[in-house]
Structure 1
C-alpha cells in the first residue's frame, strides 16, 4: 500500500477486490464523508440505488496500519445523484472500529465562509501522465458555481495535467493563512466540459443533505481564524476539559433555551467542546450565557477579568465579534412564551409579511417552519446586531402587536406583547427602515422558482418596491404553473393589483428573478394586454433579469456579487478591459472560455461581460453567472446576429455603464417593427447588490 505524506484525514474507498473507487474525508473518529457514487461503485450497485447495503473497505494512505477498516453507510445518510436535479451525491460511512491512531479527522469549513481569504485549493489524487499513474498534491482554482441548482463549484487544475480518474470523494483543502480546512470534496467531471475541469461538492451543499455535518462546521458568519481563537480560549477554562463539568454546562445551557434542539455530544474532548461552542453561537446570546455559566457572573465589558485570563480573552472575543445579546435569557423566555400563544392566529395574520417589513430587506424567512413565530424571532434577533436603520426584532414585535389588536378576539396576547415591548424594548423609538426619497424609482419584482418533482412548472411571486424599501407583496402562487400560465398571472396581477400599489403614472423597472433554465426567456416580450393590441414590456418599461439560483449560494451571494458590484460601480464611468469583456474576441470559442475562466476570479476582476456572435453564448454566460458577475449582456441563442456586435459596442461605449438599462430600453423601442433587430434579442442580467441587500435565506 502506498504511504504518502500530507493530511492525516485522507481515506481511500475500495471494493471487495481491493481496487480503489475514490477518496473520502475522515470527519471524526468513526465517520467518512464521500460521494455516493464512489460507495455505489465499491459495492457494485447502481449509482441511483435507493439503498446501499453492504461493507466497503477504507484504507488510510498516511497510516502505518496495513489492514483496512470495514465501513457501512449510515442510515439516513445515503443521498445518490439519481436524477441530477440537485447537487446531491453524498454519503456518510460509519467505520466498524475507531480510526487508526496515527490518523486525524479533518478541520471542516464552508466554502463561502472563507471568501476571498482562500489563497490556494489543493487535492491529493491520482494523476495520469499517459505513461504512468501516481498520486500527488495538485493545485486548483474555483471558477464559480454551476451544476444542478447551482449547488456545485466548478474547478480548474492550475497545472498542465488534468486530475486522473478516481479523484471523486477526495477532500479539497483550502489554504487560508496558516490554516488548511477541508471545504468540500471532488465529485468528478461533467459531460461536455474539458478534461481539466472538475466539480466540487462544497460543505454547505453536503450540509444541506446531511444536516448532522453542521455540528462539525464553524458557525455561520464566524471567520475561521476567530473560530480557532475561540477554541483556544475555551481550552483555558479548566472546567471545559472535564466531561462531567461539560455535562453540567450543556444541561444548563439547554435549560436556558428550552425551545431549541438538544446539543450533540462527542466522546472526544476537543470535538465535544467544538459542538458546545457551535451550539452556543447558534443561540441568541448563547456565548454570553455560556460565559455566565462558566464564571458564575454576568459579562461586564468594563470589568472583563484579570489581564491574560481566559475570562478577559473571552470578553474581548465577544466584543470583537459583536455578539452581545439583544435580550437577556429571561426576556427571551418571556417573548417566546408570548409568541407561542400568538401562534394560534397564523390563519389571520401573515407572519412572513411582518418579518419582511421588520427586516427591511428583500429576503425570505427561514426555509423550515416559515410561519413559526419563534423561528422568525430568533432570526430577527441575529439581524438586530447589524441593523443600523432600525431594530428588526422590536419592529416585528410592534407590527405583530398592531395586527393582533386589529383582529377579533385576540385575547390577552396583544397586551402581553405590548407590555413585553415596553419593558424589554429600546428606550428610543423603534424605527423601521427609512423611506425612500420621492423621486426614487419603483420596481415590479417577479420571482420564478422551479416547481420540482413530477409536476414541473414554476412557482411565481410578484411584489412592488420603491428603491430599497421593504417590498409590498402582490401575489404568491400556491402551486407551480406552466410558463404560459405564469405569463397570464403576471399580466393579470400587475394590471389589477400592482398598479394600485404605486402612484398613478408610475413606470416601474420590471425585474425578473429567473432560475438558470429560464435565463434566456425573452421576458421583455411578455405582453401586458390581451389581443388585439399586445404591447410588450420592453417597449414601455426598463426590463432586467437576475439569476435566482446563484442567490442560494452563500459565497456568491455574500462575497462574489457584492464585491464585484462595488468594483463595477467604481469603474462604470471609466470602463476598461479590467472591468468589461466582449466576446467573441477572435481567439476561438474554446480559447475565449479559457480566457474568461482565468479573469473572473478575484474581487477586482471582470464585472461586466457582453456576448454576441457565438453559437453557444450560454457557455460564457454560465461561467459569468457562477463567478458572481453582476452585469451580463448577451445575444440569445439562435437569434439573428446581424448588427448585434455593433449594437452591443454602442451600448457599452455610450457613457457611464450605470445607465446601461436605460440605453438598452431605448434600443428596444427602436426595434419596434424589425423582428431581426438586435434590440429584440438581447438579455441584460443586472444584479444591483446595493438596492437589494443579500442575506442568507435560512
Structure 2
C-alpha cells in the first residue's frame, strides 16, 4: 500500500437488489462505471421470483435497486444490460459449483458524485475479506478468509465469531481492507455437514474474463494497478514532481489536501513518491485540479506547468472536487424560476457548442422514474457540468502558459447575470473568479466575459421587440404554385395592420378590403413601423410579422420596395427590420393537440437542440414526421429538394414547430440556412435580416432567399374575423 490509500470499506457504496414482489433484498451488487451494476444472475432470478439457477434470458426487465453512499441513498430502477446465465453443465465442476452467473444492470438514475465505483483487485489465498447483507446495513456483515482460489472459484471460511453468509449476501462484494478493493463476488454458501462455515465466490479474475467473453469488457473499471507509464503525460509529471515542487513551502499540507479532496486516506508520515503521485493524477479525474488548487498560492509556476500538462494530454476534468461540489450547491440553491432560465443562459453563452438537449431539459427519451427517486434533476445538473468541463475554451490560448477562458466559466457568468437573485449572483461570480485565478485565466478576460453576459442579460430583460402584425390576403385567385420560378406574385392584396408596442395589439389599418399593390403594401407597413412607440430606442429593432395562409408562405414580401413621393431609399421590407411569417392556418389543422404542442415547444425554444432536415436525414414524409415528433423540437432548418420543400415546411408548421427556417430559392446546400446554423434561436430574426442586407450588397455570394416562420406562443395574434359574413 502506498502513501495514498482508500479509507476502507466505508468508502464502498452498498448496493441492494430488491425483489419486485415485496421490495425485500434479493441480494447485493457492486457499482461499475457509467451507471452500471454487477451482480449474480441468480440474484436477478430471485428478484423476479424465478428459479434462481434458471438459465433463460429474462427479457427486457428492470428490478428495483437501492444504493447507499456516504451521504446519499438513491432508489432507482435498473434494466438488465448483460446476461451471463448460470452454467451447471460445464465440465470440471464440483457438486456445489457453476460457471457464468453474472448480470450487469443499467441504472435509470444519475448518481451523486459521492457515490463512486470501488476499486478491484485479483483474489488470492489468505486474503481477509468482508461481505455485506443485501439490506445494505453497514453493521450486517460477515468476515472470512480466502482459503483457496484458482482464478475460477474462490472459497472462503467464516471467522469464528462472525455472522454466517446467507442467500441475501449473494452478488455482493468481497472486500479486502488490505488491498482497499473488491476482490470478487459472493455466490453461494456450501451446504455441507461440519462446523466449518464455508462459502464460495467468483474472483475478480473470472469476472473480468466472463465479461470480456460476453462483449462487455468495456464496462469494467480500470484495474487499480493500471500501468500508466506509457501515458504521454507520465514522464512530464514524474519529472515535475521530482523537481522543485516537493521542496516548496507547504508541500506536505498540499499532499494531504489532495488526499482529502479525492476521498482518500494517507500515511501519517512522509509524502507520496513522484511515481505514485503521477499515477494518482492520471487515474483519478479531479486529482490534478486538486493539486493545482493546493499549490497555486505557494508555487504558481508549478501550478501553470501542471495545467499545461493536463491540457496537452487531454485530461478531462477542469474542477477540483471542492470546486465541483461548491458549484453544485450554488446551482441547486437557485429558486425554481431562476433555475428555469439556466438552459437559455447556457445556450446564449455557448451558441456554437454541441449541448445535448437531455442535459438541458431532462427529456432523454429513456426512463421515467428519475422524478420518482429525485435523482434526475440533480443528476442532470452534474451531467451538464461534466459536459461543459469538456468543452474547449471560447478563445485560443495566447501561448502554452496562458489559459483560454473555459466554456464552463463563460456559461457560469451568463447564468449569474441572467438567472440569479443578487446574493446568488455575487456568490456565483466569486466562485467563478476563484476558479479562473486557479486556472491562470487573466482577470481582464473574465471581466470581458462578465460584460458580455451583462449585455446579454440586459437585452433579454428588455422583453419582446415591438412589432407590426400584417394580415396579407391575395385579392382574387390565390397564387397556386409555390416554386420561386413558377409562381407569379399576385398583383393585388388586402391588408390589415396592427401595432404592438408591448401594451397589446391595436389596429391601425383603414379600408382593409381595398386591394393594394406590393409597393403600396410595403409603404403602409413602413408607415406602421414608424408609428410604433419605442420607450427604449436602444432596444431590439421592431419586427414585421406577416400572417399568411399556407399558399402565401413563399410570397417574397421581404423583397418588396415602398413607393410614393417619400420613397427616396430603395428599401426592401426585409432589410431595415426583421420580417417573419406566421401561419395559424396550418397550426390549427389538427385542433387543440397541436396547439398544446406548439405552446410546449415554444417553452423549450432555448433548451431543445435544433433539428436539421435534408434529403438524407428525412427522405420521405414518414421520416419527416418521425424526426419532428421524436422530441418537442422547437426549431427546424430545412434544406431539401425544391419539389419537396413545400410539403416538408407545411408538415413542420402543422406539427406546431414555432421556428422554421428554409430557403425559397431552391438552391441545393442553401447558403442562407448555413449562415443561420450557428445562431441562437432568439437571434434568428436579426440574423436573417442581416443576411437579406448582404444579398443586396453581394448577390452572387449571398444568393439565398431565406424565409423564417416565427410563432411566439407568448404573444397574442389579432382575431382574424371575416369582414363580410358572406365570405
Q: Tell me the TM-score normalised to structure 1 length.
A: 0.31
Larger Rg: 2
Q: Which has the higher contact order (CA 8 A, sep 6+)?
A: 1
